[in-house]
Amino acid sequence: MDSRISARALAEALGGWRGRGPAYESLADGIRLLCLDNRIAPRTALPAERELAAALGLSRTTVAATYRSLRDSGHIESLRGSGSVTLPLRRTDPGADDRRDGVIDLQQASPAAWPGLPAVFAEVAQDAAALLSRTGYDVVGQVGLREAIAQHYRDRGLPTGADEVLVTTGAQSALHLIASVLLSRADRVLIETPTYSHGADAFRAAGARLVGVPVTPDTGWDLDRAAQTFARVLPALAYLMPEFHNPTGRTMSRAEVNAFVDGSQRAGTILILDETTAGLDIDRQTESTAFPDADRIVRVGSLGKTVWGGLRVGWVRAQADIIRRLASGRPVHDLGTPEFEQAVAARVIGRLDEISAQRADLLRAGRDAVTRALVETFPEWDIPTVHGGVSLWVGIGEPVSTPLVMNARARGLLLSAGSRFAVDGGHDRRLRIPFTAAPHTLERAVDILRAAWDDVRGTPVGAALDDLAAVV
């Protein structure tokens, strides 16, 4: 057994789990979703029945029936004297590699690979001998790639040298490295809510205490809350996604940028700017509101959203002394970024403007198709207007995001509930709908979502659901 989740933590993670049907089955679905999202890892001990019943205000009989349902569906096992423990996903689960034909997976908001990438791979392969002459262990990154990234920042008006860049195995690796080196256990981190969930996971793993600042598609960042957090909490770090925020799609205004810069300077906070979606400007009309250059600003970028998620190359751009600290702490995590991927990245960095234009066309088609379908199918929902990024942060009006996602999963549509992006619970009235898939796929997804919505709200849809245990 690797870990244990308390009754209080499980109650917070569940959010709005109540849906149509028996309470025990709705609760079981909520726990299944946490397992499928890996918010509860395999081999995690669940709370005792009595503890969870008290935390949720339920009878012990209801929780006992919940655990029985989870055992029947193969999501937990219960051992006398050891309690109930979650199990790894079965290979027949839609969340596993061997998923059924026809399943639409919109959990990962990432477009297909840039079409020019195969040719770049072929070019790099022809120079394999030169790559093999290197040791393969370099915790800072190839000089040529670091210089290309530095030039990318210089083109944006940010003077940067290669010694101010560290290459990582993707942005997630960069965030874990930053958290482990720049944070001490119990340090406070200001973070947006909703937020990129794996970013929050990186800071939690370092033992940080997260303090959320709300952001919405319509009103942007809650500057009053941000000012209070900087003044009262004095966070060590603040993690922000200022351009085409994931999941809301919102971009900071100049006033919002100035407010966060001012607050962080007064509090002595290091700003971590996640720029992985910054190049996904669909309409090419967003005013640039870039953060100024400053000693206590650390920028994280990657090629995952713009070029391909399978090209695991990211980077950190910061003052040279911070880069040296990160490089010194890196061997605890890994010993460098693969040479082949770095060589590919060095060839595409200079073409990011061209690549971003192609991505804008692709994402525009998906955004327009899913927005049109949602407006026609769900006139009662709040469908935001976004000009870039990868997703819509849809308001569904009722706190049923979790049961809606589970119902849709049973029908072959995989989505992430709003609570997945919350810092301390909530967002059960929201649903993230990525528009990175093909238009016809997104339109089919909306049709499935309509059937799931009607079922969750108690409206007959003409056909019974398959048994959930056979699907998840």
> pLDDT tens-digit profile of 313-372?
999 999 999 999 999 999 999 999 999 999 999 999 999 999 999 999 999 999 999 999
Beta bridge partners of 273: 240, 299
Q: Give the structural domain span for 430.
A: 104-114+354-470
| DSSP secondary structure, 177-232, as one string | HHHHHH--TT-EEEEEES--HHHHHHHHHTT-EEEEEEEETTTEE-HHHHHHHHHH
| 346 and 363, same domain (yes or no) | no
pLDDT at 289: 64
The Cα–Cα gap between 314 and 300 comes to 7
| 321 and 185, same domain (yes or no) | yes
pLDDT at 465: 33
| 261 and 317, same domain (yes or no) | yes
| 432 and 445, same domain (yes or no) | yes
| 68 and 135, same domain (yes or no) | no
The Cα–Cα gap between 405 and 247 comes to 16
| 110 and 166, same domain (yes or no) | no
Final residue of a structural domain among 309, 324, 350: 350
In a domain, 401, yes or no: yes
Q: Which of 153, 131, 117 is nearest to 316 (CA)?
A: 153
Amino acid at 70: L
Q: Which of 392, 360, 387 is nearest to 375 (CA)?
A: 392
pLDDT at 98: 39
The Cα–Cα gap between 36 and 34 comes to 6
Residue 210: phi and psi, rounded to 5, are -90, 135
In a domain, 327, yes or no: yes
In a domain, 99, yes or no: no
CATH of the domain at 435: 3.90.1150.10
CATH of the domain at 338: 3.40.640.10
CATH of the domain at 15: 1.10.10.10
| 79 and 177, same domain (yes or no) | no
Final residue of a structural domain among 309, 327, 350: 350
**Cβ pair 87, 76 in contact under 8 A:** yes
Amino acid at 58: L
**Cβ pair 188, 236 in contact under 8 A:** yes
| 126 and 110, same domain (yes or no) | no
| 334 and 445, same domain (yes or no) | no
In a domain, 137, yes or no: yes
The Cα–Cα gap between 205 and 176 comes to 8
| 49 and 108, same domain (yes or no) | no
In a domain, 98, yes or no: no
pLDDT at 421: 94
In a domain, 93, yes or no: no
| 28 and 167, same domain (yes or no) | no
In a domain, 96, yes or no: no
In a domain, 72, yes or no: yes
Total domain count for the chain? Answer: 3
The Cα–Cα gap between 264 and 460 comes to 52
pLDDT in tens, the chain (472 residues): 468 999 988 888 887 777 667 888 889 888 988 888 778 888 999 999 999 999 999 999 999 999 999 998 888 998 877 789 999 866 444 344 334 458 999 998 888 899 999 999 999 999 888 888 888 899 999 999 999 999 999 998 999 999 999 999 999 999 999 999 999 999 999 999 999 999 999 999 999 999 999 999 999 999 999 999 999 999 999 999 999 999 999 999 999 999 999 999 999 999 999 999 999 999 986 555 678 888 899 999 999 999 999 999 999 999 999 999 999 999 999 999 999 999 999 999 999 999 999 999 999 999 999 999 999 999 999 999 999 999 999 999 999 998 999 999 999 999 999 999 999 878 999 999 999 999 999 999 999 999 999 999 885 443 333 333 322 2
pLDDT at 97: 39
| 342 and 358, same domain (yes or no) | no
